[in-house]
């Protein structure tokens, strides 16, 4: 039996009302009013008639797809109840439900190569099998109406399950690490605290025990990782939310947050206002041709690269040192042309 969205909502409301412990034995009018309130925001009878509720109750009681809901009328209380107090309605999927699940499935399949999602494969396959039986919308049709951004598979994803277990069990790790800066391999004894994704790359935050310093390291530059056999206690002072509160990107988090003021041209301002550069972003001035926004972050190379990527559409107003650095970089860039 195919359900439309409105019928499915009415059935759910009727089921909830009948199972209610705070207000048992709802009358037919109370069921009608509750359904209309849920669907239309008003219970005055203009949109749902009593006959509609009567048909709904009949369908719930007599259709196998609803499990032959054991609805009965109590003449003493003048309302409806379930003769089986443990009964709960299990509705079939509506076409809208199926479309949304297909979209979710398509999204999961898009990321299925990522190691962290691979443990979901069995559950995803079960859901996919049920949806295929519904045969509402073929995957080929879905791809014609929605396209996802390609997610590149970077090195280091294979370490995600290993590191997740190490973090959960407070297990000390050791590995070799080759930074991009000089390409020289370093060996770390490391207490892993947190896995963080940024721009489709994974990073490990933890304590470098040799230098007694919390670092953020890219998984794509890690090699020869193993457990040392030792366990550790996470530092009480480490707060993941606070650690990243003033950060911009995934770079170095040492330093003091500063007030950054940017002037945006009229067009670029719409993009940055609708998709803020940082949670601290605040509009502080507006003119017919530009906006000024304020950020409170620790200046990083990622912040500078972001500003430079906007070219003439963004101007650094404050601090003066950052304005000079951006200007110097732009001058160097001009020499390349």
CA atoms within 13 A on the CB side of 83: 7
Helices (H), the chain: 5-19, 28-40, 50-62, 95-110, 121-134, 139-145, 160-168, 240-245, 266-274, 301-309, 320-334
Q: What are the CB-based long-range contacts (under 8 Å, 24+) for 107-111?
A: 107/148, 110/148, 110/151, 111/151
**HEC secondary structure over 295-307:** EEECCCHHHHHHH
* 265-277 per-residue burial string, b: 16 or more CB within 10 A, e: under 16: eeebbeebeeeeb
Angle (CA) 141-152-272 rounded to 5° is 85
- Range with lowest mean pLDDT among 62-66, 184-188, 210-214, 248-252: 248-252
The pLDDT assigned to 138 comes to 46
How confident is the model over 20-67, as pLDDT tens digits?
888 999 999 999 999 988 888 776 777 889 999 999 999 999 988 788
CATH class entry, domain 157-245: mainly beta
Mean pLDDT of the region 315-337? 94
Joined tokens for residue 7: 């019928």
The pLDDT assigned to 124 comes to 63
The pLDDT assigned to 96 comes to 66
Burial (Cβ within 10 Å: 0-12, 13-18, ≥19) of residue 192: buried
The pLDDT assigned to 152 comes to 60
Fold match between domain 157-245 and domain 258-334: no
The pLDDT assigned to 223 comes to 92
| CB neighbourhood size of 71 (10 A) | 19
How confident is the model over 112-130, as pLDDT tens digits?
555 555 556 666 665 665 5
The pLDDT assigned to 316 comes to 95
How confident is the model over 270-297, as pLDDT tens digits?
889 888 999 999 999 988 889 999 999 9
Fold annotation for 5-82: Arc Repressor Mutant, subunit A (1.10.10)
C-alpha to C-alpha distance for 321 and 45, rounded to whole angstroms: 67
Sequence-separated (6 or more) residues with CB below 8 Å from residue 133: none
Euclidean distance between the first and the last CA atom of the chain, given in angstroms as a whole number: 68
Can you list the positions of beta strands (E) in 185-251? 186-198, 201-208, 213-218, 222-231
Residue linked to tokens 């049920």: 130
- In the chain, what are the domain boundaries? 5-82, 95-145, 157-245, 258-334
- pLDDT tops 60 at residue 1: no
How is the beta sheet containing 186-198 ordered, strand by strand?
Answer: 213-218, 201-208, 186-198, 171-177, 222-231
pLDDT tier at 137 (50, 70, 90 boundaries)? very low
- Range with lowest mean pLDDT among 39-53, 83-97, 112-126, 208-222: 112-126
The pLDDT assigned to 307 comes to 93
Residue among 302, 269, 299 nearest 284 (CA): 269
CATH number for region 258-334: 3.30.70
**HEC secondary structure over 234-259:** CCCCCCHHHHHHCCCCCCCCCCCCEE
Joined tokens for residue 152: 């590149």
- pTM for the full model? 0.58
Mean pLDDT of the chain: 83
């Amino acid at each position: 039996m195919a359900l439309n969205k409105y019928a499915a909502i009415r059935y759910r409301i009727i089921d909830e009302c009948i199972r209610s412990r705070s207000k048992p034995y709802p009358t037919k009018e109370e069921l009608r009013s509750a359904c209309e309130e849920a669907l239309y925001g008003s219970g005055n009878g203009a949109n749902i008639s009593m006959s509609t509720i009567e048909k709904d109750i009949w369908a719930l009681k007599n259709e196998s797809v609803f499990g032959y809901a054991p609805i009965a009328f109590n003449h003493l209380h003048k309302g409806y109840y379930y003769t089986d107090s443990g009964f709960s309605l299990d509705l079939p999927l509506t076409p809208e439900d199926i479309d949304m699940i297909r979209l979710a499935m398509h999204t999961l399949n898009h990321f299925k190569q990522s190691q962290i999602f691979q443990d979901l494969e069995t559950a995803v396959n079960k859901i996919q099998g049920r949806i295929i039986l519904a045969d509402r919308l073929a995957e080929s049709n879905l791809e014609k109406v929605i396209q996802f951004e390609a997610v590149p598979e970077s090195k280091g994803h294979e370490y995600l399950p290993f590191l997740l277990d190490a973090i959960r069990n407070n297990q000390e790790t050791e590995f070799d690490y080759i930074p991009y800066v000089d390409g020289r391999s370093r060996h770390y004894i490391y207490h892993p605290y947190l896995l963080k994704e940024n721009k489709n790359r994974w990073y490990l935050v933890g304590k470098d025990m040799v230098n007694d310093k919390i670092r953020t390291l890219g998984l794509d530059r890690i090699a020869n990782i193993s457990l040392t056999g030792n366990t550790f206690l996470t530092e009480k002072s480490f707060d993941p939310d606070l650690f990243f509160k003033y950060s911009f990107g995934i770079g170095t988090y040492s330093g003091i947050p500063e007030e950054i003021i940017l002037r945006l041209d009229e067009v670029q301002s719409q993009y940055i206002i609708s998709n803020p550069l940082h949670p601290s972003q605040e509009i502080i001035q507006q003119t017919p041709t530009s906006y000024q926004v304020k950020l409170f972050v620790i200046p990083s190379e990622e912040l500078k690269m972001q500003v430079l990527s906007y070219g003439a559409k963004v101007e650094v107003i404050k601090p003066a040192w950052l304005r000079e650095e951006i200007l110097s970089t732009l001058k160097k860039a001009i020499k390349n042309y």
